[in-house]
Chain A
Amino acid sequence: MSESAPLIRPGAGPAIVFRDVVKTYETPKGPFQALGGVSFTVEQGEIFGLLGPNGAGKTTLISILAGLTRASRGQVSVLGHDVVSDYAQARRLLGVVPQELVFDPFFSLREALRIQSGYFGIQNNHEWIDDLLNSLGLADKANANMRQLSGGMKRRVMVAQALVHKPRVIVLDEPTAGVDVELRQTLWQFVSRLNREGSTVLLTTHYLEEAEALCGRIAMIKRGQVLALEKTSVLLSRASSNVLRFKTDAQLPAELASKARVTGRVVQLPAHNALEVEQILAAVRESGAVVEDIEIRKADLEDVFLDVMAEGVAS
């Protein structure tokens, strides 16, 4: 990898570059390709969303970026610094919040943050540590042992640990998985502030409304391939305009069931115009089903996501 030309001049240009990243794992059942040639760029100052179902390769991609995993092929750089040949500089610029909830049971919260700073060669950053503790609502727990903290608190500590060295590029791998509404609000406010102050943010999340609200651009990946990469507004406009939503207890006719998004009693179907709405309702009525709470709403990112994923299967 080090023989090829540098992607760009260090320090300038894009925040993150993935170029043709392939990752193949050896498994007892034979080689498994987690990433099949992923290429995209995250510009400085963006909040960039990486979406995909479980097993799509999001965490593998982030692990390669963070140096936790080595790519089988391809190149990855952070602000022009190759994550393999120039790993020390790349990691200094990068703050990663891993997906799994982990902590070191030997230390208090403040000790953990001081130690994490020291790994980056930083001392006497008490002010910044205090700022982190305050911004993430951890100030009153600063001297508590990590074992005494709740899951949500531990998650906040992981965010603080990723930020102790003031990284210019922040990577959040499903930071809001399993955390309460209050923390999500706190976290996104803080991330937005860091972004306004110049940090680039790459995030993965399963909460698509969060991605829709926060991310300027979004990449959707599945089975190690990028299926869509657009500005969020462009992606939303790609949606099939409207969604017909109603509740029913009955089974849907087969031709509708294949297109429908069903959550318990709630059925959601794409509908481009009034004629399609009428046709759907007629088909449901013919099948003998009773529907209630009918409404028509604008398509959201979740609809686009499901469309893209379905296209991915078809291709």
Chain B
Amino acid sequence: MMGWKTLFYKEVLRFWKVSFQTVAAPVLTAVLYMMIFGHVLEDHVKVYDTVSYTAFLVPGLVMMSVLQNAFANSSSSLIQSKIMGNLVFVLLTPMSHWAWFVAYVGSSVARGLVVGLGVLLVTVWFGQPGAVAPWWILVFAVLGAAMLGALGLIAGLWAEKFDQLAAFQNFIIMPMTFLSGVFYSIHSLPPFWQQVSHLNPFFYMIDGFRHGFFGVSDVSPWLSLGVVSVAFLIVSAVAVQLLRTGYKIRH
């Protein structure tokens, strides 16, 4: 049964048709962050001895964009389809809950990577971060996007109104990404907040991703890989279960 390929294709086509909003806009936002924070903090913050602040900032902004857009893709697609009522065309098909999961998460990864690549291409001119270990870059980008895609699936199924989804995004996703070390190394934090940061799975995504660029990171990339993988599996298990039972979509 190849239905998932079509659903994946449709979901990619959906964001691509409005790429000005779904790709260009987040790239511009990242450039603004880069210009403002890079300019203001360049001479004040030293993270690693060998790395300039702007170079340090590049992977952080890329990963933040990957994560936020992966989340936005599945969640906004689902809630729009639910509110418009056109989800029924997917509900009437023989596709299994696994097909749904793979298609929605896969298309979220696609959007996350497209936006991430766009952000990388425009911010890399501000400070070259290098790419010491490209496989780590790819692994964390895909895994991070997949986890946020699955989280977006849960949020999109759960939310009944756009403001509920906005609350999920603004009160959970945004703080967790901002407090994960996008703009700073957690070693610059007081010990208590360092401990708190270690409880945030988003920290490991960004730290592992950054390791791929610099070969240095706050924790071992293997630890990060372990934490992110476990987080992904837990979130995926919840998402698949919700799809299997038809949570809020089959009554």
* B-binding residues in A (CB < 8 A): 25, 63, 66-70, 87-89, 91-92, 94, 96, 98, 100, 102-107, 111, 115-121, 161-162
Contacts and interface: CB of A to CB of B under 8 A. Distances in A.
A66 B250 CA distance: 10
A160 to B, nearest CB: 11
Nearest to B2: A121
Contacts of B89: 102, 104, 116, 119, 161
B174 to A, nearest CB: 26
Nearest to B90: A119
B246 A119 contact: no
B107 to A, nearest CB: 13
A103 B91 contact: no
Contacts of A100: 85, 88
B250 A87 contact: no
A301 B10 CA distance: 45
Nearest to B103: A119
Interface residues of B, number: 28
A162 B93 CA distance: 10
Contacts of A94: 92
Contacts, number: 81
Given A69-B250, A106-B14, A120-B3, A89 B94 contact: yes
Contacts of B84: 102-105
Given A67-B91, A69-B251, A118 B17 contact: no
Interface string B1-16: 1110111011001100
B10 A88 contact: no
Given A98-B88, A121-B3, A67 B17 contact: no
Contact of B10 (A63, A69, A115, A162): A115
A104 B10 CA distance: 11
Given A102-B84, A106-B14, A88 B1 contact: yes
A66 B92 contact: yes
A96 B94 CA distance: 13
Contact of A106 (B1, B17, B251): B17
B220 interface: no
Nearest to B93: A119
Contacts of B7: 118-119
Nearest to B1: A121
A91 B90 CA distance: 11
Nearest to A161: B89
Nearest to B3: A119
B77 to A, nearest CB: 10
Interface in B82-132: 84-86, 88-96
B149 to A, nearest CB: 19
3 closest cross-chain pairs (CB), A and B: A118-B6, A102-B85, A88-B94
A24 to B, nearest CB: 11
Contacts of B81: 104
Contacts of B250: 67-70
Contacts of B91: 66-68
A82 to B, nearest CB: 13
Contacts of B94: 87-89, 91-92, 119-121
A119 B85 contact: no
Contact of A67 (B2, B13, B14, B92): B92
B157 to A, nearest CB: 15
A121 B246 CA distance: 21
Contact of A96 (B9, B92, B95): B92
A106 B13 CA distance: 9
B192 to A, nearest CB: 45
A25 B17 CA distance: 39
A11 to B, nearest CB: 16
B6 to A, nearest CB: 3
B93 A120 contact: yes
28 contacts: A25-B251, A67-B91, A67-B92, A68-B250, A68-B251, A69-B251, A88-B96, A91-B92, A92-B94, A94-B92, A100-B85, A100-B88, A102-B84, A102-B85, A104-B81, A105-B84, A107-B10, A107-B13, A115-B6, A115-B10, A116-B89, A116-B93, A117-B6, A118-B2, A118-B9, A119-B6, A121-B1, A162-B92
